[in-house]
Amino acid sequence: MKKKILIGSMLVLTLLLLMPSIPAIQHKTIEEGIKQDLQELEWIRHPLLYTLVMLLCYFRMIRATIILNIASDYIWWYHDIHFPLLFIRGVWLAVTSGIWYTFWQIVSDILGWGWDTNPFMINN
């Protein structure tokens, strides 16, 4: 009986000594995983500014597409323009969107921000 109590006590003591190290190992593993995830996002600087610039660019292109669809009927090579002023507005939005993106791409290249994507391509 005393032998069983002694073995049980040693087993409980061993488990109590090992328990704090198991969560520490898991915590370290989780921290390393988070660091790796953050390192994968380091390819781009100023992600908030990048997101804002790209959203504005996409928004302008979507507006241009909708306006051009309303203003004209496009059949392969021929535009049947119903609303000339609206058509000009759509073209203006598309052109200025391209200029907007090109400007920010040049700024990114000069300052080394790593904004190396094309806003009009879904897969890079």
The string of pLDDT tens digits covering residues 16-25 is 666 665 566 6
Residue 60 domain-assigned? yes
Q: Which of 2-6, 16-20, 63-67, 97-101 has the lowest mean pLDDT?
A: 16-20
Residue 121 domain-assigned? no
pLDDT band of 85, cuts 50, 70, 90: very high
Q: Write the CB contacts of 102 (distance below 8 Å, at least 6 apart in sequence).
A: none
Residue 117 domain-assigned? no
Q: Averaged over 7-18, what is the pLDDT?
A: 70
Between these two residues, 26 and 93, which has the higher pLDDT value? Answer: 93
Task: Check whether residue 100 and residue 70 sit in a common domain.
Answer: yes
Residue 119 domain-assigned? no
Task: Check whether residue 32 and residue 54 sit in a common domain.
Answer: no
pTM of the model: 0.56
Q: pLDDT for 41-76, tens place per residue?
A: 556 788 888 889 889 999 999 999 999 889 888 766
Q: Which of 63-72, 101-110, 113-122 has the lowest mean pLDDT?
A: 113-122
Task: Check whether residue 50 and residue 98 sit in a common domain.
Answer: yes
Task: Check whether residue 57 and residue 70 sit in a common domain.
Answer: yes
Q: What is the pLDDT of residue 112?
A: 82
Range of the domain at 16: 2-41
Q: Write the CB contacts of 100 (distance below 8 Å, at least 6 apart in sequence).
A: 53, 56, 57, 60
Task: Check whether residue 31 and residue 83 sit in a common domain.
Answer: no
Task: Check whether residue 71 and residue 23 sit in a common domain.
Answer: no
Q: What is the pLDDT of residue 21?
A: 57
Whether the CB-CB separation of 100 and 29 falls below 8 Å is answered with no
Between these two residues, 10 and 26, which has the higher pLDDT value? Answer: 10
- Integer angstrom CA distances of residue 97 from 13, 23, 117, 124: 69, 52, 15, 19
